Amino acid sequence: MTSRLGYAILALLARLPSTGYELSARARRPLGYFWTAQHGQIYPELSRLLDAGFVSFTTSPGPGPRHKKVYSVTAAGMRELAEWVVRPPAPARGDRDEMLLKAYACWTADQPAAAALFDDQISRHQERLARYLADWQAVQSRHGGGPPPVTHPDFGSHATLRFGIDYERQRIGWLRWMADALSAEKRLAGP
């Protein structure tokens, strides 16, 4: 059975054949905004995908004494990826949000210090939002100023960026609300 990381690797290779090192770098952006993998996880997963017949590789001269392996998705790998895309998702894992837990317990802390913590998080999310918006514009500029066709690889980037933009805007609003509530030391009614 293919892991979620395996599907992420297949999705990256469906766009562009890559070495394991290149996959690690490519997984950081834009995929890394929404899906993370450690460098050491890539090679074992590539081995499993290779054993399953979902990827293949060619060798070419490398920068050192060894040849580098350039991985590509196979036809079987493309079928596996396409079938996975339309299956209902597995239950979410990694839904532990430390800031949400801190909000739940903030009544136990020094209110000005808690307000400062939430306020300090805003700039980090504003920076990420700015990167997402720049990437969004870059994708749209490649498609006449609008969204790419759903059959184009850029559509996946466009869709994940849309999620990220909406998430960051929501997160910034929530962080401001928390910082204001803690600063004012009053209860806010409703959303």
Domain CATH number, residue 32: 1.10.10.10
127 and 180 in a single domain? The answer is: yes
- Residue 68 bridge partners (DSSP): 60
Q: How many structural domains are present in the chain? A: 2
Is the residue at 189 inside a domain?
Answer: no
- Amino acid of residue 27: A
Tell me which of 33, 57, 85 is where a domain ends.
85
Write out the residue range of the structural domain in which residue 153 sits: 98-184
Quote the pLDDT of residue 83. 93
120 and 177 in a single domain? The answer is: yes
How far, in Å, CA of 63 to CA of 189, rounded? 62
What does pTM read for this prediction?
0.74
Is the residue at 92 inside a domain?
Answer: no
Quote the pLDDT of residue 161. 92
Longest dimension (CA), the chain: 66
105 and 75 in a single domain? The answer is: no
- Amino acid of residue 3: S
Residue entry with tokens 């060894």 = 66
Contacts of 48 (CB under 8 A, 6+ apart): 2, 3, 6
Alpha helices in 16-110 (DSSP H): 20-26, 39-52, 75-85, 98-105
Tell me which of 54, 85, 116 is where a domain ends.
85
Question: pLDDT (tens digit, 9 = 90+) per residue, 28-76?
Answer: 665 555 566 666 788 999 999 999 999 999 998 888 888 899 999 999 9
